Amino acid sequence: MISTSEWMFTIAFLAAVIVFDLSLAIIRRNKETSFAEALSWTGLYIGAAIGFGIFMPHWTSGELQKEFFAGWLTEYALSVDNIFVFIILLSSLKVKKESQQLVLLLGILLTIAIRGALIPIGASLVSHFSSVFYLFGAFLIYTAWKLTKEEGEEEFEEGKVVSALKKRGLSTFSIALIALGITNLVFSLDSIPAIFGLTHSAYIVTTANIFALMGLRQLYFLLEGLLTRLIYLSKGLSFILAFIGVKMILEALHGSGFEVPEVSLEISLGVIILTLIITAVASLYSTRKNEESTK
């Protein structure tokens, strides 16, 4: 059980990091972010998340530590997919490079706010209605199926929304924020059920989500050049979501008294890590092979 003081210290620490990132974005709002700068900051934020997870047993338990790493990896992978949508949106809207710093940070803050509102709702549903796992599990499996069928229909729909907003006289900056807000809401509806399939702890759900969102502004500039290279990312994410969806349904059946296999947290963590590694390696190998064949 996490004490009130541990909650307060954690939230204060995370809030300080967010304020620091906001201040940095405002100061550098008229400057482009170099690849080296994006790489160093992304490494720093990933290191902070890993360090937090390593030291967690000092105030929590080893089981919660495993849940944190499984949740953080899943949320981070979903955030990377989110980033690619951000890249497409901001490119199609022709938002200036100098303005992207502030647009991205405001979009990420909006994501934190949306998830901050959804996490208590999800926690309340999980604690009061165990049958909600059937719904969450089915929703994740459906989302996974949709990811495998993605061809570009979403971009067409987003284009119609953007055109309608432009006709109303909204600025590119405002349209970008609205588009990112809608995208964030959609992605949050996927990510919240996904992490509740790995942990029931509100503390782990909160910290894993915030650590996954930290540094996304820098990650955006780092991944901008990899948009066409991680071609199997959606396939990998669809497998992870489907796996967690099945795990949730099995857990719900077990809670209802049925004799079904239980998927341990160690297996979940292993499946998530292995899927992400295979997805990245296969994507980079395939695109490199295609580049060599066209030379």
Report the distance separating Cα 173 and Cα 18, nearest Å. Answer: 22
Q: Which pLDDT value is given to residue 12? A: 92
Q: Which pLDDT value is given to residue 165? A: 66
Burial environment of residue 1 by CB neighbours within 10 A (0 to 12, 13 to 18, 19 or more): exposed
Average pLDDT by consecutive 10-residue portion of the chain (295 residues)? 87 86 73 79 90 91 91 86 74 71 75 81 76 83 79 49 69 76 74 85 89 81 74 85 88 81 84 90 85 70
Q: Which pLDDT value is given to residue 154? A: 47
Report the distance separating Cα 70 and Cα 199, nearest Å. Answer: 9
Find tokens 């395939």 and name the residue. 286
In order of 85, 139, 163, 177, the CA distances from 226 in angstroms are: 13, 29, 28, 23
Q: Which pLDDT value is given to residue 274? A: 92
Report the distance separating Cα 139 and Cα 280, nearest Å. Answer: 25
Dump pLDDT digits (tens) for 143-195: 888 877 765 444 444 556 666 766 777 777 777 777 777 777 777 777 888 88
Report the distance separating Cα 70 and Cα 47, nearest Å. Answer: 16
Please say whether the beta carbons of 80 and 223 come within 8 A. yes
Please say whether the beta carbons of 71 and 198 come within 8 A. yes
The reply to whether the predicted model has a pTM over 0.85 is: no
Q: Which pLDDT value is given to residue 153? A: 44
Interhelix angle 62-92/35-55, rounded to 10 degrees, is 160
- Give the angle subtended at the CA of 123 by the CAs of 183 and 142, to the nearest 5°: 50
Kindly list the domain boundaries of the chain, sorted by start residue.
Answer: 4-294
Q: Which pLDDT value is given to residue 54? A: 95
